[in-house]
Amino acid sequence: MKKQVGGRRGTAAMLACCALVLSSALATAQGEVDPLLANWQRTDKPVMDGVVNRTWMWGPQATAYLTWESYADAPSGKRKVIYFDKSRMEITDPNAERDDPWYVSNGLLVVELVSGKLQTGHQRFENLTPASVNVAGDASDPNGVTYATLAKLRAPYSGPEPGPLTWTLDRAGNIGVDARFASFDVETTWYEPATGHWVAEPFWELMTSSGTVWEDADYHDEALFADPFYATGFPITEAYWIEVLLDGQPEDVLLQCFERRCLTWTPSNPDGWKVEAGNVGLHYYIWRYGEPPPKPVG
């Protein structure tokens, strides 16, 4: 039986900016690996080292930007965070048990981008506007689906279990059906009652997959995630086919957004890279601060 995850944390105003080299910046006085780095290493070091042919879950080490952000419920009023192009990690309570899977969390960035509510504490929010930033594809695509588009799609799904996915979505939030996508035979495999949405099969396969991970200074074959929803959060939309521009060329991709990430499935991509996590870390930082990180992400 699936165990639902907790430990949901938000974000707040930035107190200090200092781009640092990840490996040296996260070294502890005792030479131990900082939990933020360990969390990255587990799934993405094998990718960086070329040991596996698999999509990044956080992003290349070179995209890391380490800083401190204020947060009302952190013991000191601020917490250590690190941005990657595909996520943000945070340690809200450094005095908590390090063995707790949620000692290092990654915020509900997609929820904030979609709702326009920036979280500044467990129960504190700042009202901004939903992000008019393309979720996938070229940032300059004038017809791309944005996080603001998704605000209309969060209501729980109340119909029968979907068959092969043929739903389409455009920038204005219009949902259509295109029968040609039935040929891909992509179905749903998990209904999440917490949010009332189905998870598309390619994304569920990644979320529940096993493979080579880096742990205890060595490679092992284990589940990528202790809980399927650890890296993604719960689904907040159904899965839709969208057309995006990739380097100026149109491409059909299947998109589904979760609380923490948006995932895409691109049939034309090579194996290992058909499912990819969007650049929500970069998108969120730009939405929140109005400019890319001082150390560019991506």
What percent of the chain stands above pLDDT 90?
80
pTM of the model: 0.88
Residue 18 confidence (pLDDT) above 90: no
**pLDDT of 242:** 98
- Three state DSSP letters for the chain: CCCCCCCCCCCCCEEEECCCCHHHHCECCCCCECHHHHHHHHHHHHHHCCCCCCCCCCCCHHHCEEEEEECCCCCCCEEEEEEECCEEEEECCCCCCCCCCCCCECCCHHHHHHHCEEEEECCEEEECCCCCCECCCCCCCCCCCEHHHHHHHCCCCCCCCCCCCCEEECCCCCEEECHHHHHHCCCEEEEECCCCEEEEHHHHHHHCCEEEEEECCEEEEEECCCCCCCCCCCECCCCEEEEEEECCEEEEEEEEEECCCEEEECCCCCCCCCEEECCHHHHHHHHHHCCCCCCCCC
Q: What is the pLDDT of residue 1?
A: 31
Whose tokens are 């699936």? That residue is 2
Tokens of 54: 């698999």
Share of the chain above pLDDT 70, in %: 88
Radius of gyration for the chain, computed over Cα atoms and rounded to the nearest angstrom: 19
**Which residue type sits at 21?**
V
Tokens of 270: 């090579």
Q: Contact 278/261 with Cβ under 8 angstroms?
A: yes
Across all residues in the chain, what is the average pLDDT? 88
Q: What is the pLDDT of residues 207-263, one digit of tens each?
A: 999 999 999 999 999 999 989 999 999 999 999 999 999 999 999 999 999 999 999
Residue 295 is predicted with a pLDDT of 66
